[in-house]
Amino acid sequence: MTSSLRIGIAGLGTVGTGVAKLLQGNKTLLAERAGAELELTAVSARSKQKSRDVVLSGIAWCDNALDMAQRSDVDILVETIGGAEGVARELVTTALQNGKHVVTANKALIAHHGVALAALAEKNGVQLAFEAAVAGGIPILQALRTGLAANSFKRVAGILNGTCNYILTTMQKEGREFDDVLADAQAKGYAEADPSFDIDGVDAAHKLAILASLAYGTKVALDALYIEGIRHITRADIAYAAELGYRIRLLGVATQAKEGISQRVHPCLVPADSPLGLTEGVFNAVQAEGDAVGRVLFQGRGAGGGPTASAVVSDLIAIARGERWPAFTFRTANLAEAVRVPMEKHRCGYYIRLTVADEPGVLADITKIFAAEKISVQSLIQHTHEDNMPAQVVITTHATLEEAMQRALNTIHALERIIEKPVMLRMEMV
């Protein structure tokens, strides 16, 4: 074996350092699997003085990351800087223009600019690869692109954000409120100082948009998604869900609908004994349902230096072997436009929690409103409480249209004896 592939890493944070460690620590194994030596020749990061658990002697240091796109001793650029704009976008664009392969873990960059970058890669005869951008070390993109390529997908769904899953499962196990658990997640490093990207569903939306593109052959389009986060989930909702035999998870779901591909990110009640209900802590899980294979499950660590670096290096090995593939399964010219499917047309069962005055006739008023919208009640919980105190009523329904449920809740909220705004969560049979 005489050939080698020269690699430059832009960004030496958790992931970039993890890639460097794998390239150095597993050098012989990777060379055998790749059929070529994977040689780390250049790196770039904000600080050269920062202590890192990786050997950088003999490797070229670039103070300006953009210089890496011009280096003659770099065949593949690994981008782990992050962010949809700025240096990351300029670096990847320039590298592709200069005929260099690019491997990235940057889900925001791919969600916002992936199709344009893929077209640029095609034009210049190089590979754009981003297995690490979705679900960390879980090889879900490769599975959709190759192992499951014979299938027409009915549905792709999963837990795509480890921070949210940690918060929800800790609330479930310890009976704590959202704000308290979020602060704990931040202290442990599972959540950022500004956690909005995670808890408002944006991170999961980026990943779902990429998954849907590969599964259905559509252009990545964040504006085609419905996005709702988990800030409003309470300890009470977690407890009621458990009483009903469910757990609450933030899911990303893409399905084929009449109007197009439905793409949505929101908290759901899922059966407690289902694969997604049993996925806890910082773990991710993705289910794909094909017409030939049926339902398959991929589960593992969705973030962190080791798992994400593993995915990056898997792309490096594939490129070293000479494998080439359209970044989004189809060539960019053949990708369909993603159409936003109105959330109002979504059909599912619902969990409703109402805070009501303890007076006769309240339940009759509520069920009358549901009946007018042809909403069928599946179950009802009302616990005993102190006299003259508001009561909490929890209702689950059979499948109905979102628009009918929203009309019913607006009417219910207007009733004098409804004390707080109704809480609504969707139910997903996974």
Sheet with 37-44, side-by-side order of all strands: 60-62, 37-44, 4-10, 76-79, 101-104, 128-129
DSSP collapsed to 3 states, the chain: CCCEEEEEEECCCHHHHHHHHHHHHCHHHHHHHHCCEEEEEEEECCCCCCCCCCCCCCCEEECCHHHHHCCCCCCEEEECCCCCCHHHHHHHHHHHHCCCEEEECCHHHHHHHHHHHHHHHHHCCCCEECHHHCCCCCCHHHHHHHHCCCCCEEEEEEECCHHHHHHHHHHHHHCCCHHHHHHHHHHCCCCCCCCHHHHCCHHHHHHHHHHHHHHHCECCCHHHEEECCCCCCCHHHHHHHHHCCEEEEEEEEEEECCCCEEEEEEEEEEECCCCCCCCCCCEEEEEEEECCCEEEEEEEECCCHHHHHHHHHHHHHHHHCCCCCCCECECHHHCECCCCCCHHHCEEEEEEEEEECCCCCHHHHHHHHHHHCCCCEEEEEECCCCCCCCEEEEEEECCEEHHHHHHHHHHHHCCCCECCCCEEEEECCC
Neighbours of 191 (CB within 10 A): 22
Amino acid present at 314: S
Handedness of CA 291, 297, 303, 305 (dihedral sign): negative
| Known active-site residue 219 | no
Q: Which one from 123, 207, 368, 374 is the annotated catalytic residue?
A: 207
Amino acid present at 396: T
Decide: 250 and 230 in contact? Cβ < 8 Å: yes
The two structure tokens encoding residue 30: 């990777």
**What residues are labeled active site?**
207
